[in-house]
Amino acid sequence: MTLRKKSAYYLLIGLSILLTVVYLAGQTLSMIDCELATSFGLNEPKEQLTKLGLALNKEFGFADVFVYLPLLIVGIIFLIKKSTMGFFAMCAAMAITIYWPVVSMSTLFYAKGAPGFTFDDFLSYSIFLSIIAFFGLWGFVFLYRNRKYWMG
């Protein structure tokens, strides 16, 4: 692997570890105690979310904790071990990393103006979510282009 590819590999692993820590804290906490997650700035206040938004937030937290995070953790561990399992788990995690920000941005777009929906920070969320989706796309493309490294 060239120096450039090694740097990209370490960037992928490093950002994936960061995402794992943030989501493990944020999504697990959101699932258990939404108000505590809000006090740490990991969640929007429940007054902004409506009851449906709060339920969706908990559902995404549940899916993240029991599907996305295990894929991300397995991907990290087995990519470090240079295993095919790591390649497939990380590809799945990167696909989810593209998918969920797009779902979240669409939700914000379609919910705008709905009765009881008071969220108004669309620009910063759109930028933040776009960066995460771009990371997922970049990670997926990087893995695909270098698949021979993990697949033998």
Taking 90 as the threshold, does the pLDDT of residue 34 lie above it? no
- pLDDT at res. 98: 97
Determine the Cα–Cα distance for residues 41 and 9; give it in Å rounded to an integer. Answer: 30
Give me the phi and psi of 39, to 5 degrees please. -65, -25
The answer to whether the Cα torsion of 59, 44, 127, 71 is positive or negative is: negative
Q: Is the dihedral of CA 13, 93, 142, 108 positive or negative?
A: negative
Q: Mean per-residue pLDDT for 16-26?
A: 90
pLDDT at 49 (0 to 100):
66
Which of 3-17, 23-37, 124-138 is the least confident region?
23-37
